[in-house]
Amino acid sequence: MIAPMKKYTFLILASRYEHFLEQLREAGVVHVTLKAEGIADNETLQAAIERKQELEHIIKQGAPDQLLKEKQSVLDKIAATQQEANRMAVWGNFDKKQLDAIAQAGYTLYYYTCSSNKFMEEWGVRVADLGGKTYFVALQPIDSEDVTVETLNEKSSDALLKDVEALNGLLTAADTRILAWGQAHLAETQQELDEVNRQIDWTQVTLSTDSVAEGSLKLLEGFCPVEKTADLDQRLTTLDCYYEAEDPQPEDKTPIQLKNNWFTRLFECLTGMYGWPNYGEFDPTPILGPFFLLFFALCIGDAGYGLLLILCGYLIHKGKMKIEMFEGLGPIIMALGVGSTVVGYLMGGFFGIDLFTAEWFPAAGKAIMLKSLGDANGQIAGYDVMMVLALIIGIVHICLAMVVKCLCYTKRFGFKQTISAWGWLVLILGSLITLVLMMTNLLSAEATNITLIVIGAISALGIFIFNTPGRNPLINIGAGLWDTYGMATGIMGDVLSYLRLYALGLAGGMLGAAFNQLGEMVLGETPNVGTWIGFIAIVTFGHVLNLLMACLGAFVHPLRLTFVEYFKNAGYEGSGKLYQPFKK
């Protein structure tokens, strides 16, 4: 949910303004409204921002660029020298002095390579055969398209490898310098960054202050969470300032502060990837979280993989497994693992094994699996149970989005401006509920016809006649027809998009089963130590690879269903700004 805010307007004597700002920063609860005018072209502020970026870069890298460039230069030399040593290895360990002596005796050596099947002994002395090529030395130039001229390094492979060892010593010295710099200067660099951040905040606030009454007064606006206004008001009574607190208006750029429980907070990072809600919008995280967890679990579709995710998430959370891109994401990985374990079991998958068809798995355990809802083949009306379930989830998700849109838009813009949205909600959700009641025999055929006629009439009025009150009815009808075209072509495609949940889960299960079969083929009917090693290697590699690919798809596609299908039908804008108080 979004925490309620109060808008504050402060009026302060210019002579007391700096003291007021110090006290305001000490309070640390007011998000000051920053203005674009004067900030972009302020040289002092821009210089501070550039310095901030430099310091952040140094802290992230652990050393200044100069030291890092020196280390990279050594690494490049090591790579080039090692590559040259590998190239020269085929020519053996020669002595440069001997080659010079041959040249002084009046002989010129030519070095060539050619395909081994085209080499002729009269060309010269064979040095080596490697990779289908013959390396040889000749005393005369060879005029043939079959040969390639080679140039030898002045040093042999062994000599170049000694150079690599020397360069490794320089690399150790470079690492030592970087480590020493970090121990000596990293703490003070962080302190300088903190000071620069304070300077930037202070400058931005002062530049966002208006001068009134010929400069004798300063006017400042900001926002404070309602739960913190009591402490702020108490502090303001001790200051020489006038202030007003009021509820934010729709035209205000009110920041937002999310207040969610421990579970929902795990998924706030996904909301931020799209964009934070506006103050008047509905925080999508409480709905995004459970549905993303469900979608992810359906795409994984395997309880065994879920257990591995729980283990990985736990190790990342405890710092036992250090992966930079997953830093701080241990709890959400564990949550996704728990969901994948539960849903994977309900789908009957366990490391590529179909528990529902396994004869050794107890019948009581199969009874709670989703496939038990269908016939003996796990189908409903000729379609796979999981396929039907994916479509049902899609319908529920989109209908929920439409409900959220109607409620949110009504709150923000009023009922008159959302009549069309309510009309579509009544038509789609009302028709679905009516059909479900009819299929479950809770509504007779006659009552169903009457209900559908009433729903159609009410929704038609909202969609075609009253979609924009006060406008020409003919224009409203035209707008309604265009809206109908968009809904008819879009809603079906949106629902069908949820089939990806079924497809990804099915593909992952089939690939896991394929690796199991390969392992069993290697194991054979009379297993021994060698076949067991092969079986374990194939199964381990296969399932790790399958899990990595499944996790990639299980992240991208549920995110797409949320950002496109759900947010589009929910009318979510995501152009808000997080609450960032002016504080030390």
Q: 37 falls in which pLDDT band (50, 70, 90)?
A: low
Task: Please identify which residue in the block is written with the tokens 């059909």.
Answer: 435
Torsion over CA: 35, 221, 254, 198 (sign): positive
Question: pLDDT tens digits, residue range 366-381?
Answer: 888 888 887 777 778 7
Residue 66, CA atoms < 13 Å, CB-side half-sphere: 2
Rounded to whole angstroms, the Cα distance separating 77 from 33 reads: 53
The encoded tokens of residue 453 equal 């006629």
The encoded tokens of residue 223 equal 């926002």
| Degrees, nearest 5: CA angle 307-311-317 | 140
Least confident of 99-103, 183-187, 400-404: 99-103
Rounded to whole angstroms, the Cα distance separating 246 from 224 reads: 10
CB 55 within 8 A of CB 193: yes
Helix (H) or strand (E) holding 114: strand 110-115
Residue 38 has pLDDT above 70, yes or no: no
- Average pLDDT of the chain, as a whole number: 88
Question: pLDDT tens digits, residue range 382-415?
Answer: 788 888 899 999 999 999 999 998 888 888 888 8
Question: pLDDT tens digits, residue range 194-233?
Answer: 888 888 888 888 888 888 887 788 888 999 999 999 998 8
Q: 174 falls in which pLDDT band (50, 70, 90)?
A: very high
Which comes out higher in pLDDT, residue 484 or 159?
A: 159
Q: 327 falls in which pLDDT band (50, 70, 90)?
A: confident
Rounded to whole angstroms, the Cα distance separating 408 from 401 reads: 10
| Residues 6 or more apart whose Cβ sits within 8 Å of residue 394 | 494, 495, 496, 497, 498, 499, 561, 565
3-state secondary structure of 166: helix
Rounded to whole angstroms, the Cα distance separating 536 from 523 reads: 9
The encoded tokens of residue 458 equal 């009410």
Rounded to whole angstroms, the Cα distance separating 349 from 344 reads: 5
Least confident of 8-12, 310-314, 357-361: 357-361
3-state secondary structure of 5: strand
Rounded to whole angstroms, the Cα distance separating 339 from 294 reads: 7
Residue 477 has pLDDT above 80, yes or no: no
Whole-angstrom CA distances from 104 to 83, 97, 101, 136, 139 are 30, 10, 5, 21, 14
Rounded to whole angstroms, the Cα distance separating 265 from 257 reads: 12
578 bridge partner residues: 256
